[in-house]
């Protein structure tokens, strides 16, 4: 049974870089039928798509975050990773990893991890 697990620092200082790793278990990340995505949800607010990546490294990013986001994939570890630079308090959120089908829907989600931005 495929599962996704997020791992992150929990607390990041303003202006620093947020790093999140998503580990896929139960199936190979190297499937051409799926992309792998990152979505976030500020406390008490709605969902925001951050970006997605294919197993071969092709990326799509939310235009509003594109200048600060990088998503990479490591097929040898069955992982993909998010880096968000120059963070502010507005980046405080629960960050989710999800599997994205080729027709732009997210069919499997990780449990999410809360990342707070504070000094």
Partner 1 sequence: QSALTQSRSVSGSPGQSVTISCTGTSSDVGDYNYVSWYQQHPGKAPKLMIYDVSKRPSGVPDRFSGSKSGNTASLTISGLQGEDEADYYCCSYAGSYSLVVFGGGTKLTVL
Told to check if 46 binds partner 1 by CB under 8 A, we report yes
In the complex, the smallest distance separating the C-beta of residue 76 from partner 1, rounded to whole angstroms, is 26
Residue 38's closest CA among 103, 2, 84, 86?
Answer: 84
Rounded to whole angstroms, what are the CA distances from 63 to 53, 54, 69?
15, 18, 10
From 13-21, 69-77, 84-92, 107-115, span contacting partner 1 (CB under 8 A): 107-115
Select from 36, 49, 80, 95 the one that contacts partner 1 (CB under 8 A): 49
For residue 86 the two structure tokens come to 């120059």
Told to check if 106 binds partner 1 by CB under 8 A, we report yes
Select from 42, 60, 78, 85 the one that contacts partner 1 (CB under 8 A): 60
Contact 51, 65 (CB under 8 A): yes
Q: Enumerate helices (H) and strands (E) in the chain, giving the number of each.
A: 0, 11
Dihedral of the alpha carbons of 30, 34, 39, 44, in degrees to the nearest 10 = -130
From 9-17, 19-27, 45-53, 79-87, span contacting partner 1 (CB under 8 A): 45-53
Give the distance from CA 73 to its chain's centroid.
11
Told to check if 8 binds partner 1 by CB under 8 A, we report no
Told to check if 89 binds partner 1 by CB under 8 A, we report no
Told to check if 10 binds partner 1 by CB under 8 A, we report no
Under the rule (CB under 8 A), what is the footprint of partner 1?
A: 37, 46-49, 52, 60-63, 96, 101, 103-112
């Amino acid at each position: 049974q495929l599962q996704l697990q997020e791992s992150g620092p929990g607390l990041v200082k303003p202006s620093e870089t947020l790093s999140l790793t998503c580990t896929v278990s139960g199936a190979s990340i190297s499937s051409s039928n799926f992309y792998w995505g990152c979505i976030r949800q500020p406390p008490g607010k709605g969902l925001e798509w951050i970006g997605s990546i294919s197993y071969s490294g092709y990326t799509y990013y939310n235009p509003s975050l594109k200048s600060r986001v990088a998503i990479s994939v490591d097929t040898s570890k069955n992982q993909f990773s998010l880096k968000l630079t120059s963070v502010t308090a507005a980046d405080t959120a629960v960050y989710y990893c999800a599997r994205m089908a080729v027709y732009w829907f997210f069919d499997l989600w990780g449990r999410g991890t809360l990342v707070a931005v504070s000094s």
